[in-house]
Amino acid sequence: MARIKIDLPDTLLFSATVAVRITDINYGNHVGNDAIVKFIHEARAQFLALYKFTELNVAGTALIMSSLIIDFKKESFFGDQLIVKLFAGNLSKVSFDFFYSIHATRNGQEVLIANAQTSMVSYDYSAGKVIAITTGLQKLLLL
């Protein structure tokens, strides 16, 4: 199987700092894959909260994650302060992708821990169906 490569968009939307907790460490004594999912979710939630939104209400629509890809690069450890950089791209009528680049700072250098990509679908929970992305959401994503 070919290794997945995630190409990050050029425009950075947001950066979040997330601390690696002891509960994020797995039996290999490094951050588990489940914790990486939590870190990107936290960054996405912080970005939306900055504009007074949640995933249930983003400029008139809700968001549902339809896929997730993680490309692991290096290990992360207890005590790391991770910087999660958030980007957006691949806009369609009803969906777009969030991209994430996760870094730790070690010895004054940024070390790439992982890149990730989540496909997000615009959704109306009251109608129970996928809907078109609103103009407000497009503006938020700078797309």
What's residue 143's pLDDT?
Answer: 58
| Residues 11-56 pLDDT 10s | 999 999 999 999 999 999 999 999 999 999 999 999 999 999 999 9
> If you search the block for the tokens 């050029």, which residue do you land on?
10
Query: Who contacts 40 (Cβ-Cβ below 8 Å, separation ≥6)?
Result: 84, 98, 100, 102, 116, 118
Q: Using the predicted structure, report yes or no on whether residue 132 has a pLDDT greater than 90.
A: yes
Q: What is the pTM of this model?
A: 0.94
Confidence at 102, pLDDT banded by 50, 70, 90: very high
Helix (H) / strand (E) element for 49: namely helix 33-50
